[in-house]
Amino acid sequence: MKIQYYNRELGKLEEEKVYGDGAVKWMYQTTSGRILTRLLIRPLVSVFYGYLQSLGFSKFKIPGFIEQFEIKMDEYLPEEGRPESDPYSSFNKFFIRRFKDGKRNFEKKPECMPAFSEARYFAYESMNDSETIPVKGKYLGAKALLNSSKWESTFEGGPLLLARLCPVDYHRFHYPDSGKVLDYYKVAGKLHSVNPIALKEFADVFSDNVREVTILETENFGKLAYVEVGAMMVGKIVQSGDLKDFKRGDEKGYFLFGGSTVIVLGEKGKWIPDNDLLEYTKKGIETYQKIGSKIATKC
């Protein structure tokens, strides 16, 4: 299964290089793999694997990873206090690397929403049960994702942006607007892979995996439900930012090792994703978007 996405900046379709492609296919598309997957989706396994990525020996796989996925390291800072010649003390420190100043800029127009993650996006104008890309709409609805009777009606039928972060991506996520936090809570669950191969086999990945939910009151886009979804071999979701007040572009948090997903739900009629994202989503194709660039507009 080839995974294609639309590179918005370059204006062309590209094929994704998948980290651990063979292992994911085996785990989700073979009988023996599915048996092992029942063990691997347990949070303790992923936490332990993530812990190994924080040990000193893990840094030796960084050069090969950079070469294989052609990561432009001139865009990133070394770990604080380390020289350019030996920039990271572990694979996890490399994994949560920061951009150098000026390498990414956040959209400033109040009516334009900037991308909150550097990732591959699906976009929906109004999430409902009839949607089937990438999974049936009921699994991406407010009720399934938020697991909260207090907030599900606020976001039912509203717009949704789903950002899939691959292991090669920048793994810090940011606030798309200024505002304040109304609520924050965690939802227990499993840790399936969020790779499209896994999504094809298990439609309820996003509503079944571990999640952290933050309800935001923003200056320009009304209330937003900001959902970080854990995934297989994600060591931890870290809330590094302020869970009280925040400014557009502020860092909210980061994922330790592993690919994962950030989902943002909005109130019906408050904003709409950009048309090209909506059109590619209908075709089942994700759009690769740099963090900070325009992704939606206030209605």
Q: How far is CA 277 from the centre of its chain?
A: 16
Provide the residue ranges of all domains of the chain, joining segments of one domain with +. Answer: 1-299
Q: Are the C-beta atoms of residues 141 and 129 closer than 8 Å to each other?
A: yes
Average pLDDT over residues 85-98: 95
Q: How far apart are CA 229 and CA 208, in angstroms?
A: 9
Query: Looking at residue 189, what is its pLDDT?
Result: 72
What pTM did the predictor assign? 0.87
Q: How far apart are CA 60 and CA 224, in angstroms?
A: 40
CA distances from 32 to 25, 139, 194, 257 (A): 11, 27, 20, 25
Q: Is the pLDDT of residue 140 over 80?
A: no
Query: Looking at residue 131, what is its pLDDT?
Result: 60
Q: Give 52's pLDDT tier (boundaries 50, 70, 90).
A: confident
Main-chain dihedrals φ then ψ at residue 101, nearest 5 degrees? -55, 135
Q: Are the C-beta atoms of residues 175 and 220 closer than 8 Å to each other?
A: no
Query: Looking at residue 66, what is its pLDDT?
Result: 95
CA torsion, points 144, 7, 3, 34, in degrees to nearest 10?
A: -40
Q: How far apart are CA 38 and CA 61, in angstroms?
A: 27
Q: Is the pLDDT of residue 26 over 50?
A: no
Q: How far apart are CA 104 and CA 18, in angstroms?
A: 24
Q: Give 271's pLDDT tier (boundaries 50, 70, 90).
A: very high
Which residue did the predictor score with more confidence, 260 or 111?
111
In the chain, DSSP finds a helix count (H) and a strand count (E) of 10, 16
Q: Is the pLDDT of residue 113 over 60?
A: yes
Q: Are the C-beta atoms of residues 287 and 120 closer than 8 Å to each other?
A: yes
